[in-house]
Amino acid sequence: MNENRLGNYPGVYGSYIILILLIVALTPSAAAVEKGAITIVAAGPQNYFLGEEIKFTGTNSETNNTYLFITGTNLPSNGGQMTNPRSQVWIQTPGDTSIFSPSNVLMDNTWEYKWQTANLNLDAGTYTVYAIVTPSDKSSLANTQYARVSVIIRKPFISASTSQSSISPGDSFFIRGYAEGRPSPGVAIWIFGADKNSYEKIPISSDGSFIKEYSPSDTAQWSTGQYEIVVQHPMYNENFDVIPGTGLNSANALIVSLNNPSIDDTYAKLKFSVSSSPSPINTYKNDLLTHNTYVPRSDTTIPLIIIIVLLLCCGAGYGVYWTRKQPSTDQHPQSNKPTSQQTLFRSSSTEINDLVEKASTLTIFRQPVIKLISAAGAQYDKGNYPNAQIFIDKAKSAITSLAYFESNISSWKAEGFDTSPMENLNTEDVAKVRQVSYNLNCLRK
């Protein structure tokens, strides 16, 4: 009877079958369950100075905590602790996962961890940070879910130079350089001289450059003699660990304090002299001329030539003709009376000569400096004296940083690192040279 009724209503029978199939299809099975995922990203360009705070963020839909460890240059092969990278991650006490720097996962499955790199024992290089859903080291990653991100760690350093190696009282003078790592307190400048001991903190620009200028009225008060400069970088802890105090009355005493192993500050040392005689005007080095350096012409080397043509055998009219044809003093006032701009530019002649002296020591990266000096000469010939000085200042900055990189090539080679990308770099772009050199410094072994 029931079978006949179902047979009489085939549509109802088909509906039952479809309903059963849908229930089976929608019922979750063990094979269909997917584990949660985990991600990690580093804020910023993934290129940081040691001492900076690095923020890691991500998602974790698997567990309530995200665990971290780090691998890289001179660290344990199975992972080091985020707070002590040279110590391996492992669970010392059952249930104690603090060694993995756990980060709490929020309700929206996001997490974050702020890594303080100040005072960490890390070399410059590339490191990999692992985010895992369970406290595991690198050897156990096959049994857990994880994500990773690479970061480059660079070490701060400082370079500096003076505008001139010798000045006279009343000359303009400045100290400039680069404080890599962009220390927020800036840099400290110490000057030790005959009767001058000074200390001053100055800020740095966003690109790490700094400059301290002394006006003619400042240097007019300086006694003649030898002076020493120490430019101090606070390094990782962002504190000047050595400040003026008892016994710091010379550059040598200061450097002894800065070289103390418990002090992380670094420094650059410079010398200059103050002479009572006017700063001499020196010529440019011939070795730079062989590299197509344009040497700006100084009007002080071109005296006014007065040609007196006495044509006693000629008529008075012929004599007047030649007299009118010769240039008069009024027609060429610049030869005897230089403009204020010319005088200003010539006052930097000793400064420029010192620049060329330093440029002559460059071997690999001489061309960018040559280009800047040539540009200065071209501007000078056009009468654009302020522009000429701008190019001279740019050349000084270039020498400061490029000389640093050249000085490190031999040590980088000794460490077994391939320096050919830097040695074969044929460019006049100082910024490109600096970037390639930075990358090499960061990635060296």
- Is pLDDT of 132 > 90? yes
Least confident of 293-302, 371-380, 424-433: 293-302
User: What's residue 291's pLDDT?
Assistant: 41
Q: Is there a common fold for 41-153 and 157-274?
A: yes
Q: Where are the domains of the chain?
A: 2-26, 41-153, 157-274, 286-443
Cβ atoms of residues 49 and 182 within 8 Å = yes
Burial 16-34 (b: 16+ CB within 10 A, else e): eeeeeeeeeeeeeeeeeee
Query: With bands split at pLDDT 50, 70 and 90, how would you rate the model's confidence at 5?
Result: very low
127-145: average pLDDT: 93
Cβ atoms of residues 231 and 158 within 8 Å = yes
Name which of 181, 207, 124 is nearest 440 in CA terms: 124
Cβ atoms of residues 284 and 370 within 8 Å = no
Q: CATH classification of 41-153, choosing from 3.20.170, 2.50.20, 3.30.750, 2.60.40? A: 2.60.40
User: What's residue 232's pLDDT?
Assistant: 94
User: Mean pLDDT in the chain?
Assistant: 75
378-400: average pLDDT: 73
- Is pLDDT of 111 > 90? yes
The percentage of residues in the chain with a pLDDT greater than 90, rounded to a whole number, is 31
User: What's residue 322's pLDDT?
Assistant: 44
Phi, psi of 42, rounded to the nearest 5 degrees: -110, 135
Q: Residue 333 and residue 323: Cα distance in Å, rounded?
A: 18
pLDDT for 321-380, tens place per residue? Answer: 444 544 444 444 444 444 544 444 454 455 566 666 667 667 777 777 777 777 777 776
pTM here? Answer: 0.46
Phi, psi of 333, rounded to the nearest 5 degrees: -65, -25
Name which of 217, 219, 180 is nearest 196 in CA terms: 219
User: What's residue 109's pLDDT?
Assistant: 93
Strands across the sheet containing 41-42: 41-42, 53-59, 110-116
Name which of 250, 248, 210 is nearest 229 in CA terms: 250
Name which of 177, 190, 203, 183 is nearest 257 in CA terms: 190
- Is pLDDT of 249 > 70? yes
- Is pLDDT of 207 > 50? yes
Name which of 211, 261, 264, 207 is nearest 233 in CA terms: 264
Least confident of 13-27, 114-128, 217-231, 372-386: 13-27
pLDDT for 50-77, tens place per residue? Answer: 878 899 999 999 999 999 999 998 999 9
- Is pLDDT of 318 > 80? no
Burial label, 89 (beta-carbon count in 10 A; 0-12, 13-18, 19+): buried
Least confident of 68-77, 194-203, 349-358, 409-418: 349-358
Query: With bands split at pLDDT 50, 70 and 90, how would you rate the model's confidence at 262?
Result: confident
User: What's residue 367's pLDDT?
Assistant: 74
Least confident of 203-212, 297-306, 412-421: 297-306
Query: With bands split at pLDDT 50, 70 and 90, how would you rate the model's confidence at 24?
Result: very low
- Is pLDDT of 302 > 50? no
pLDDT for 87-97, tens place per residue? Answer: 998 866 666 78
Q: Residue 434 and residue 125: Cα distance in Å, rounded?
A: 17
Q: For the domain 157-274, what is the CATH code?
A: 2.60.40.1930
Query: With bands split at pLDDT 50, 70 and 90, how would you rate the model's confidence at 295?
Result: very low
121-136: average pLDDT: 91
Q: Residue 67 and residue 102: Cα distance in Å, rounded?
A: 5
Strongest mean pLDDT among 31-35, 223-227, 246-250, 292-296: 223-227
Least confident of 236-240, 248-252, 297-301: 297-301
pLDDT for 146-177, tens place per residue? Answer: 999 999 988 778 889 998 889 999 999 999 99
- Is pLDDT of 2 > 80? no
